[in-house]
Amino acid sequence: MTSRFGRSFQIATFGESHGGGVGVVIDGCPPRLALDEATIQRDLDRRRPGQSRFTTPRQEADRVEILSGVFEGLTLGTPIALLVRNQDARPSAYEHMKDVYRPSHADYTTEAKYGVRNWQGGGRASARETIGRVAAGAIARRLLEELGGVEVLAWVSRVHDVEAKVDAATVTLDAVEASPLRCPDPAAAAEMAAKIDAARERGDSLGGVVECVARNVPPGLGEPVFDKLEADLAHGLMSLPASKGFEIGSGFAGTFMTGIEHNDPFVPGADGRPRTAANRSGGVQGGISNGEDVVLRVAFKPTATISQAQQTVTRAGEATTLEAQGRHDPCVLPRAVPMVEAMVCLVLADHWLRQRSLDALPR
């Protein structure tokens, strides 16, 4: 079982949702990068539970500890180990479900693969595993800022059938964080909130879409065949819990266009580089970044744990009914925003470091 991601900027996450803690080891971060716990904590605070009525009431401060790889505020170039200790774990809350397969969870498939599973909150399949990703993503974000001022920003663009109207070119972090739903369209956010409240009241849940933009990405990141930039972005984002779909640029909407409608004419840029007129490619052409904003979207399913009665089977194969208990998000979208940003930062940092080896060669 592997829990590693990346090549040059590589991470390995560890821990279970109701164990002693969760964390990550980052290998490949360059030395002399200014880094402290507060830089990492900012992103973890946006991911943590208990932020609003739209998230799980589990109370975790998610305070990060830097165990290695940083000295006197600078990275050493050696592996960086980060740990977040679990404080509000309640494994006994899952006792009644230990011999029951929860619908749309990883219970059955994990047991089918390994012959054993941690039934306390889903173990490694829990969204709590993403703490390590978000912590590592904060370091990748810091690296991208230092290398070239890259900005990665995500927001909730849709909940169920409520669509926000947001301009990816101008949306700001302040606008995103102004709403507990992380939707920068106030009218849509209010409608989303009402939908989520209604779903929670009836013991149900909702899904939706997170959109993300990466600005100031230089041209040249990505490989032309198997490691295309959008392929690695899809790999990272589709590995997030509850993710069910990925698109970049025009995405599936592009299938309704003709070639002449979809193609992006090049125009002279103020900096002397070619620029595209409409960025329908979403900042990536031929698997390689073209210098435009990288714009992508990730679809998330409704939270699988709901309190309504559902049909399922036991480990012995007997039919039964499950009414799940516990503390769960009625909608994963608000907390998925920093997770999406983290995976985008990790992919971009990894490809940036890989590109440096080519840039060192004479042209």
Contact 132, 24 (CB under 8 A): yes
Other CB atoms closer than 10 Å to residue 251's CB: what's the count?
A: 15
Q: In whole angstroms, give the CA distance from residue 199 to residue 205.
A: 5
More confident residue, 141 or 115: 141
Does the pLDDT value for residue 323 go beyond 80? Answer: no
State residue 88's pLDDT score.
67
Contact 345, 144 (CB under 8 A): yes
Does the pLDDT value for residue 327 go beyond 80? Answer: no
Q: What is the pTM of this model?
A: 0.93
What crossing angle do the helices spanning 333-359 and 130-148 adopt, rounded to 10°? 50
Q: What is the mean pLDDT of the chain?
A: 91
State residue 361's pLDDT score.
60
- Per-residue pLDDT of 121-159, as tens digits, reads 777 888 889 999 999 999 999 999 998 899 999 999 999
Q: In whole angstroms, give the CA distance from residue 302 to residue 306.
A: 9
Least confident interval from 268-282, 318-332, 346-360: 318-332
- Mean pLDDT for the stretch of residues 250-269: 94
Does the pLDDT value for residue 317 go beyond 70? Answer: yes
Host domain of residue 273: 4-359
State residue 360's pLDDT score.
62
- Per-residue pLDDT of 13-63, as tens digits, reads 999 887 889 999 999 999 999 999 999 999 999 998 766 666 666 667 889
State residue 67's pLDDT score.
97
pLDDT-above-90 percentage for the chain: 69
- Domain of residue 104, CATH code: 3.60.150.10
Per-residue confidence band for 249, with pLDDT thresholds at 50, 70 and 90: very high
Burial of 187 (0-12, 13-18, 19+ CB in 10 A): exposed
Complete DSSP assignment for 20-32 = SEEEEEEE-PPTT
Contact 125, 334 (CB under 8 A): no
State residue 134's pLDDT score.
97
- Mean pLDDT for the stretch of residues 291-319: 91
State residue 38's pLDDT score.
96
Q: How many domains does the chain have?
A: 1
Report the DSSP beta bridge partners of residue 14: 23
* Residue whose C-alpha is closest to residue 338's, from 124, 52, 49, 63: 49
State residue 35's pLDDT score.
97
Per-residue confidence band for 356, with pLDDT thresholds at 50, 70 and 90: confident
Report the DSSP beta bridge partners of residue 320: 312
Does the pLDDT value for residue 195 go beyond 80? Answer: yes
State residue 107's pLDDT score.
87
More confident residue, 73 or 358: 73
